[in-house]
Amino acid sequence: MTEKTKYAPRLLIVDCCSHIVDTLSSTLGTDKPSVVSGSNIDTIDEAHVDLIVVGTSNLPVRRLFLSRLRRFFPDPPILVLRKEPQSIETDEEILRGEFLLSDHRDQCDLAIVRSTREALPIPPCEHTQTNSTFELVRDVTRILADNFSDSALDLDQVAEELSVSPTKLSRVLNRDVHISFRQMLRQVRIEEAKRLLATSRLSIKEVAARVGFSDSHYFSRIFKQMTGSSPSEFASGSHELAFN
């Protein structure tokens, strides 16, 4: 255990191979980290977590997953692993990381980050090679980004456009992205709603309509459920911050 942290931090490690778990546990002096699949985020029962580590993904929806992860764990630093070439002379890759820090500050955060850096970079895992579902998931995200304002947009429509069955599309999203189609669409809509609320003077009803919610009351309920703030509270806070 490095002397830079005074205690063994409690780790939550998501979608990582055993050699990554072993490397981080050894570096940080943690005996029993919680190791889970991203598909089980909703069921995790952790009283306290000091650091979350998210494994690499070739799927183009990592931002959506991280937003969802923050709903359950708003405070601890998140280390997101990514692949990059070891050098320009070789095709070999290594795993590096980016830290996402919350605005809820803790005096131990920076010590944990400094200590974790000692374990990086890490050799890559075999399972991080691009899989056959990459293009399908990329196309889903493109369709959602282009059509989220359509309140009638649903799984059947997207599956038909991609020439796959709704059952297969649903299975791929749940298995490989760890999110249902409905959750994914909601996340895209709420992210756009946050942008509109922060950068415009549109009413809540107008924002709801622009992001595909035909019922503004339902939109407000979903927005607060996913962000912790009502649309009006979020807009007020964003505009106050911009003004200051």
CA nearest to 181, candidates 157, 147, 208, 154: 154
Q: How confident is the model at residue 39 (pLDDT cuts 50, 70, 90)?
A: low
Q: Which range is least confidently modeled, 42-56, 66-80, 119-133?
A: 119-133
Average pLDDT over residues 65-71: 78
Domains contained in the chain, CATH given = 11-128 (3.40.50), 134-243 (1.10.10.60)
pTM for the whole structure: 0.58
Q: How confident is the model at residue 131 (pLDDT cuts 50, 70, 90)?
A: low
- Tell me which of 19 and 151 has the higher pLDDT: 151
Checking if the pLDDT of 106 tops 80, the result is no
Q: How confident is the model at residue 157 (pLDDT cuts 50, 70, 90)?
A: very high
